[in-house]
């Protein structure tokens, strides 16, 4: 069984419900603020649409056909994909973001942190490249750490867990 990774601080060994560390922004990877408060969030020139994976617009405004979050081709979802993956950090085929080195470049220039962090993100397995609803892994509850259900469906009584964990 894999060690849990906290989606709050991005460190292994615990779930967000047991996290006492400062939150890390998923947009800029800096501690001290959340994505909703990030100064980098409005720079859509470098952001890729989560629907078609093209720059210049967001998924809410997308008029293009939805593409797979693994290979970026239309017609199927990532959980059904058997094609070579495309990295959300450097846009090169053959590896995924967690295996991408900072030396990878796109169009001869380094890719911004923004493009990487605006890629689809799974809170279940803490990986970039797919959404939680497309995750192939078993769900891990952020409340109790159990497998097979999410925090929303947790059978544990949230009131009894209060005060047990520091945030």
Q: Could you read off the pLDDT of 132-143 as tens digits, one per residue? A: 777 777 666 666
145's CB contacts (< 8 A; 6+ apart) are 4, 15, 17, 18
Cα dist from 143 to 6, 15, 127, whole Å = 11, 8, 19
* pLDDT tens digit sequence for 39-95: 766 555 555 677 787 777 777 788 888 888 888 888 888 888 899 888 766 667 888
With cut-offs at 50, 70 and 90, classify the pLDDT of residue 3. low
pLDDT of residue 107: 35
Tell me, what's the pLDDT at 41? Answer: 61
pLDDT of residue 134: 74
Question: Which residue's entry shows tokens 């490249």?
Answer: 129
Beta-bridge partners for 121: 128
Q: How confident is the model at residue 164 (pLDDT cuts 50, 70, 90)?
A: very low
Residue 78, SS3 per DSSP: helix
The pLDDT tens digits for 83-133 are 988 876 666 788 876 676 544 433 333 444 445 455 676 766 666 677 777
pLDDT of residue 43: 58
- What pLDDT sits at residue 40? 65
């Amino acid at each position: 069984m894999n060690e849990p990774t906290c989606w709050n601080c991005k460190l292994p060994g615990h779930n967000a419900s047991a996290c006492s560390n400062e939150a890390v922004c998923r947009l800029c990877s800096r501690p001290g603020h959340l994505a909703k408060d990030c100064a980098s969030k409005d720079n859509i020139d470098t952001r890729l649409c989560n629907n078609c994976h093209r720059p210049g617009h967001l998924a809410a405004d997308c008029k293009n056909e939805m593409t797979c979050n693994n290979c970026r081709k239309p017609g199927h979802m990532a959980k059904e994909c058997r094609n070579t993956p495309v990295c959300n950090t450097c846009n090169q085929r053959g590896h995924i973001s967690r295996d991408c080195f900072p030396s990878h470049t796109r169009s001869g220039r380094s890719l911004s942190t923004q493009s990487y962090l605006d890629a689809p993100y799974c809170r279940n397995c803490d990986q970039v490249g797919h959404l939680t609803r497309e995750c192939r892994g078993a769900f891990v509850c952020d409340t109790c750490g159990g497998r097979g259900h999410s925090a929303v469906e947790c059978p544990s009584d949230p009131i009894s867990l209060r005060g047990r964990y520091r945030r």
